[in-house]
Structure 1
Amino acid sequence: MNIKHLFFGMLAAVTFTGFAQNKTKEVLFTINEKPYYTDEFSRVYKKNLDLVKDESQKDLNQYLELFIGYKLKVNKAYKLGLQNNPQYQSELKSYRAQLAKNYFNDTKITQELIEEGYNRLQKEIKASHILIMVDENATPADTLKAYKKIEDLSKRAAAGEDFGALAAQYSEDPSAKENKGNLGYFTAFRMVYPFESAAFNTPKGKISKIIRTRFGYHIIKVDDIRTNRGEVTVAHIMILNPKPEDADQDKAKNTINDIYKKIQQGEKFEDLARQFSEDKSSSSKGGLLNRFGSGQLSSEEFENAAFALQQPNEVSKPFQSQFGWHIIKLIEKHPVKTLDEMKGELEAKIGKDDRSKKITASLNEKLRKKYSYKKDAKQFALVAKQITDAFYDSKWSVPANVNDFTAPILTINTKKIDGKTFLEYVDKQQKSGIAVKPVSKLVDVLYEKFLDQQLNAYYDDNLENEFPDFANVMEEYRDGLLLFDLMEKEIWERSKNDTIGLQKFYDDHKMEHMWKNRVEVTIISSTKMDEIKKALALLKKKTEPQEIKAKLNVGNTVNIMTNSGVFEEGNDALPKSMKYQVGISDIFKEGEYYFVTKVDKVIPASVKTLDECRGKVVNDYQQYLEQRWVDDLKQEFTVKVNKDIFERVKKQLNP
């Protein structure tokens, strides 16, 4: 994840319903006489109350110190002129555009599209199609030619000709010759909206009516309809794929097969996951993974193997993905999420889909009712005369005397838009495919589109004035973006490059970075006492672990497992009752397993070297530098807190 995205993660999570704010707006404190108000402090405190992990940050006195420190840094950024950085300005503009999308919406239409999309997500459709390509802006003659082709194919398919054979021979989808038009299974939001709608409105075994998308004309045959697979919870054991340079390329495969045999012999999946799984994020939990649905993991092989399991506690055979060798155990199957659970996700998908055109049309209608606008007929007539038939061939040019058309042709509230702006708009529309004739009607169509564009632009320009929550979030992001650049310059880069300062900080705090007791050990386990006795005897004869396995694991029976390495006290791989003594242990039992260990070295608790704990030390050093820096900023800027007002704010926030 990009560090800047992480830095602004909480800002992006802000909703647009607003927060309860003080009705009065008073100056809470000043920095060099610049005021900061109670309403902003209260709003930000309430928003972050559930997000902070440090309980001290919920204390209002402590939070005020943090808030003042934040504003001091922002003031420093402005003092250094970071707000003039073109990259900063570009990123701020981009963020505003992204944030504004939430306001270019129609709740009613959006809700209808959400419900339609959710209902379709209950099913997965297997379909084939035939495509005859035609550009969206093709001439009427080319459009008619393409339509006649698809119409002929539609009649032939309806008459009983093999759909796949027709697709292979005639479809202009490049993949059709190989797959005979077969698209496999898909659900809502996987295809362009008109195609999806045709597929979902066609019964199983039937062929759709002719439809047009931006790619051309299609007919669709629905081969199958099945229920969406939903989500699953599974546990897994993973042995990482060998590296190219590893001498034993079969070691991972052999290990996973040995583990699988142990499971078949009745040993517990979770215990084996803790001992041997190399997915460290799940091994301590017995291999348990978070629930997931189709397409949510980066391994299709893993997903298909998981969904193939039917009953809880069912275990897959070993299989390989691009990450390693796996065994999966099904914990639970989950149905498709509820509508409430998916609402936000569906709304985001709709915004990126052809469905959004419905929302755009609705918004345009509302803006025409919301704002006062007027066309200057006289000026518009003068401008309209400049547009000629050359437009249809994309050969029309903005007139050389375009600067003569600066009189307004459109007024929205008090904003005036001149004829020059309209002519420049027309120039950009020449490749839009608008072919209305004669030119007089063409100009009227272009004007209506221009009016909607200008109304949207006016609405966009006034979002801060119309929506206080939008203004608040933009202010936070504006300051946060500056702060990120400043922190990178003053703290993060320095902590990475100041090797002398980092070394001194480590020397002063190294007792805070300790290894627990560690042990270099070979662990042998078995569920059978007679087999562990044999392993102990071989171990005493200085037989290597791999040779012990080879002797005692006969045929398809895995009698013992071995694990060697350096482990820190408390590691899940270590038996809890193991003694930290050099030498070979007696046999001991934990749960259903018998163990014997050979400890080659006991490494006492010791201070970690700087390299061994660099990440943590760098993080601590950054916090140390930041605190010193804030103290310096308090000397550089004059901060005055209105204590009486702060006491009133505290009573309001913590009555």
Structure 2
Amino acid sequence: MKLIKVTLNFLLLNLSISAFAQKPTDVLVTINDSIYNVADFERLYNKNIDIIADESQKDIDNYFNLYKIYKLRLQNAYALEIDKSPTVEQEFKIYRSELAEKYFINEKELGKLLNEALNRNDYEIKASHILINVDEFAQPADTLKAYNKAIDVRNEILKGLSFENAAVKYSDDLSAKTNNGNLGYFSVFKMVYPFESGAYNTNIGQISMPVRSNFGYHLIKVYNKRETPKTKNIAHILVETKDKNDAEAKKKINDIYKRLEVSDSFYDAAFHFSEDIHTRDKGGDLGIYNEGSLNIDGISDVLYDLNFKDAYSKPFLSQYGWHIVAVTNIKDKPTKDELKANFLRRIKSDSRSKILEKDLMLHLKEMYHFTTNEKNIEETVKLLKREELVNQPTVESNTATEMVLATYSDKKITAKNVLEHIYSFPRQYASVKTDDLLVKKAFDFYSYRKLKEEYNSELETKFPEFAHNLNEYKEGLILFDLLEKNIWNESAKDTIALQNYYETNKEKYIQQANFIGEVYVFNKKSDAKTYNKLLKNNYQVKEADFPMVYKYQGRFYMNDKRLPENLDFNSLGKNVVKYNNNYYVFYIREKKDEHQPTYEEVKSQVLSDYQNQFENQYNQDLINKADIKVNQPILDQLKTKYNKKNLN
């Protein structure tokens, strides 16, 4: 019967709440003619409920009092125009920019690029390339010509011409004349993204189809793919050679190697015998090795096989002479989780960012119904004053310059807009080869910028959560500034009030009797007595010889819960104390009776307490002057809803 009663009451309570539940738009409280609704209160309450340390503040009545003070402080801050201070405005601007960033990125596309980069980081590629130059904004005919040339070179290689000879003969990368197009080993982020993808997507021993980058078309030959090595600190010993057949140098390096094999440390051998004058005084130290950072033929493959600390290589010959290299330290590779934050930053700043920009551009064009007038764009080319570019000429308003190149939303982009943009950034566009390409590049850049500006200006209306987060941060800035200037600084500089507060509240700062030392707890009285005797006679005691229950050390006050109750402070350390079937031994290093500290001794605590009092009075003054009207039925419904929820 009791269960039925409880169940019935529970159902009636739920029906009552459902029938009269408050709506988000219901007015909860009016403070000085400012209206605050249920949604605002609940959003703050639910956001803060899990981080509130004081359980009493979870009670709706208590939290509602904090809420009223919060709103009164804000009103006060706005009345003092703290929101217009340069510091607040600058910090708010920076935060908004950071918060807005994620709304300009397709998170799904970013996630794909991140996972791809993390997976590629597991491996490194050894490759060579041949470059056929073509401008990033070249005319279609020139682009096709470069592509066809790359295809012809590839076909010639497939018919028997070695890739290395083809690189020397055809590559527009000048370094190919000396390195045969060889790029060595590289991993993720080391090359522009299209080239990196071309290399990672080409099988070992194969030659890619032409890969387009902003430099032109690349043919890529992949020689090897291997697991990315761990991070290594390295050192080396160098014996210089007259030529590759220098027998004396070879004998010298072999003698050094024998020393290492017998007993010499690598540091000592490098210090005494290395001919590298820049590193021998440091035991041959070359620091952290990064692939491609040292122009020493063969060092990459040699180091790859040295996979533990203090391992060293057999002698090998480079363009400088004979070397022995050693690993002086080695670190495990970071995990994918450890790399994520760094990789996200790099993705947003390297050539991958163009993929994200292109994705955003397409999205914004669709959102704002972006349409272009290709004929008017072509006409704009005729208006360009290329010869006056560096002089930043003025663009007059007339029928020609006001012709519309594009429209979006309820706005338009004119020839005048694009020409003024070009003349404002002459260095950015001076190197573009043709006027057609220059105007096209400027139009695309200017359009992208204007669409981003339009989107940025609407973030608060399009995304309510963005607006809430932004507003909360701004309110936090304003309130911090208010507290700092009007409460903390104001109370801290009133030295007379601080000293008066100390005199009025002296008893708060009385220091209890305390001691510094050790407390030893034993099960057996005999162990405790023996240990106490040894301590009193200043013997060097081995704690391991005595089975203790606990050992405490540090500063102890008499109300410390770890100590026996009703201790005689004056006799501490003299005798063993029995408490709750345990025996306590005290070793006293320093002892202080209860005393009244001076103002200077507790100045920081006095300041903290006085500031709390000052702040409470400040809040009370705001409340006393305010006109507050609470919608009690709505508040009661919130109390029923949340106090019951918190109990569960």
Give the shorter-chain TM-score range: 0.5 to 0.7
Look up the match of 1:225.
228
- Does structure 2 conserve the Cα–Cα contact (< 8 Å) formed by 1:28 and 1:37? yes
| Alpha-carbon contact 1:398-1:423 (below 8 Å) kept | no
2:410 & 2:623 partners in 1: Cα distance?
A: 45
1:156 deviates by: 7.9
Q: Cα distance 1:33–1:467, how it changes in 2: closer, same or farther (>3 A)?
A: same
Q: Tell me the equivalent position of 1:84.
A: 84
Q: In structure 2, what is the Cα distance between the partners aligned to 1:127 and 1:539?
A: 74
The partner residue of 1:374 within 355, 371, 375 is 371
1:287-336 alpha-carbon deviations (Å, 9 max, x no partner): xxxxxxxxxxxxxxxxxxxxx99xxxxxxxxxxxxxxxxxxxxxxx9997
By how many angstroms is 1:513 displaced?
A: 4.6
- Residue of structure 2 in register with 1:432 after alignment: 428
Aligned residues: percent identity?
25
Structure 1 residue 399 corresponds to structure 2 residue 424: no
2:486 aligned with 1:495, yes or no? no
Select the residue among 331, 356, 359 that pairs with 1:359. Answer: 356
The correspondence for 2:442, drawn from 434, 441, 446, is: 446
For 1:251, the equivalent position in structure 2 comes to none
The total of aligned residue pairs comes to 467
Alpha-carbon distance between aligned partners in 1 of 2:620 and 2:532, rounded to the nearest angstrom: 64
User: Following the alignment from structure 1 to structure 2, what is the Cα–Cα distance between the partners of residues 616 and 213?
Assistant: 64
Q: Once the two structures are superposed, what CA deviation does each residue of 1:64-119 show, in whole Å capped at 9, x if it has no partner?
A: 22112111111111111223323322222222111110201112211212322443
Alpha-carbon shift at residue 641 of structure 1 (Å)? 1.9
Asked if structure 2 preserves the Cα contact closer than 8 Å seen for 1:582 and 1:601, the reply is no
Name the CA distance, whole Å, in 2 between partners of 1:146 and 1:612: 78
8 Å CA contact 2:518–2:587 kept in 1: the answer is yes
Superposed, 1:377-526 pairs within 5 Å as 383-390=380-387, 395=390, 397-399=392-394, 401=396, 409-432=405-428, 435-513=431-509, 515-519=511-515
Partner of 1:629: 618
Tell me, yes or no, if the aligned pair for 1:24 and 1:39 is still in contact at 8 Å: yes
With 632-641 and 462-471 compared, the bigger mean Cα shift is at: 632-641
Instruction: Tell me: CA distance 1:381–1:476, structure 2 relative to 1, closer, same or farther (3 Å).
Output: same
Residue range with higher mean Cα deviation, 22-31 or 444-453: 22-31
CA RMSD of aligned residues (A): 5.8
CA offset digits 1:204-223 (Å, max 9, x no partner): x99x9999999xx9999999
Supply the distance in 2 between the matched residues of 1:31 and 1:484 (Cα, whole angstroms).
Answer: 21
Check the 8 A contact 1:410/1:418 in 2, yes or no: yes
User: Gaps spanning 5+ residues in structure 1: where?
Assistant: 1-20, 164-180, 230-307, 310-332, 525-532, 542-547, 554-564, 589-594
- Matching of residue 643 in structure 1 with residue 632 in structure 2: yes
Take 1:422 and 1:226, find their aligned partners in 2: how far apart are those partners?
50
In 1, the alpha carbon distance for the partners of 2:98 and 2:511 equals: 47
Q: Distance in 1 between matches of 2:126 and 2:558?
A: 54
Structural mapping, 1:200-599, within 5 Å: 201=200, 225-226=228-229, 347=344, 350-351=347-348, 354-375=351-372, 383-390=380-387, 395=390, 397-399=392-394, 401=396, 409-432=405-428, 435-513=431-509, 515-519=511-515, 567-569=555-557, 599=588
Residues 1:411 and 1:570: Cα distance change in structure 2 (over 3 Å): farther
Q: How much does 1:617 deviate?
A: 4.0
SS in 2 for 1:399: coil
Quote the residue 1:75 is aligned against: 75
1:53 and 2:53 aligned: yes
Q: 1:146 to 1:627 in 2, by over 3 A?
A: farther
**Distance in 2 between the 1:352 and 1:22 partners?**
48
Unaligned 5+ runs, structure 2: 1-20, 143-168, 233-307, 310-330, 521-529, 543-552, 578-583
* Residue matched to 2:241: none
- Secondary structure of 2:51 counterpart: coil
Give the aligned residue type for 2:393: V
- Cα distance 1:39–1:419, how it changes in 2: closer, same or farther (>3 A)? farther
CA distance in 2, matches of 1:147, 1:580: 90
- Partner Cα distance (1:26, 1:535) in 2: 72
**Pair 115,582 (structure 1): closer, same or farther in 2 beyond 3 Å:** same
Going from structure 1 to structure 2, the CA distance change for 1:583 and 1:83 (only over 3 Å counts) comes to: closer
TM-superposed CA distance for 1:373, in Å, is 2.4
Q: Is the 8 A contact 1:27 1:37 kept in 2?
A: yes
Matched residues in 1 for 2:535 and 2:29: separation?
77
Once residues 468 and 647 of structure 1 are traced to their aligned partners in structure 2, the CA distance between those partners, rounded to angstroms, is: 28
Structure-2 change in CA distance of 1:517 and 1:24 (3 Å): closer
Measure how far apart 1:536 and its partner are: 8.8
2:176 is matched with 151
- Kindly tell me: are residues 452 and 566 of structure 1, through their superposed partners in 2, closer, same or farther at Cα, counting changes over 3 Å? closer
Tell me, in whole angstroms, the C-alpha distance in 1 between the residues paired with 2:615 and 2:604.
17
Equivalent residue, structure 2, for 1:177: none
SS of the equivalent of 2:50 reads coil
- Counterparts of 1:349 and 1:86, CA distance in 2: 32
Post-superposition Cα deviations, 1:2-57, rounded to whole Å, max 9, x if no partner, equal xxxxxxxxxxxxxxxxxxx9964232222221222221111111111112111122
Alignment of 1:172-187 (within 5 A): none
Task: Work out which of the two has the higher radius of gyration on C-alpha atoms and give 1 or 2.
Answer: 2
Q: Please tell me whether residue 44 in structure 1 is matched to residue 48 in structure 2.
A: no
CA contact (8 A) 1:28 1:645 kept: yes
Aligned partner letter, 1:476: E
**Is the Cα contact below 8 Å between 1:505 and 1:621 reproduced in 2?**
yes
Q: Secondary structure at the match of 1:148?
A: coil
Q: In the alignment, which residue of structure 1 is the partner of 2:163?
A: none
Distance 2:213 2:407 in 1: 38
TM-score normalised per structure 1: 0.56
Q: 2:106 and 2:80 mapped to 1: Cα distance?
A: 42
C-alpha distance in 2, partners of 1:479/1:78?
Answer: 10
Distance 1:383 1:202 in 2: 42
CA 1:472/1:224 → structure 2, altered by over 3 Å: closer, same or farther? Answer: closer
- After superposition, the C-alpha distances for 1:541-576 in whole angstroms (9 at most, x for unaligned) are 8xxxxxx99xx99xxxxxxxxxxx98445999x999
Q: Structure 1 residues 642 and 534 mapped into 2: Cα distance closer, same or farther (>3 Å)?
A: closer
- Is the 8 Å Cα contact of residues 199 and 220 (structure 1) preserved in structure 2? no
Preserved CA contact (<8 Å) 1:580 1:602: no
Would you say the 8 A contact 2:511–2:595 is kept in 1? yes
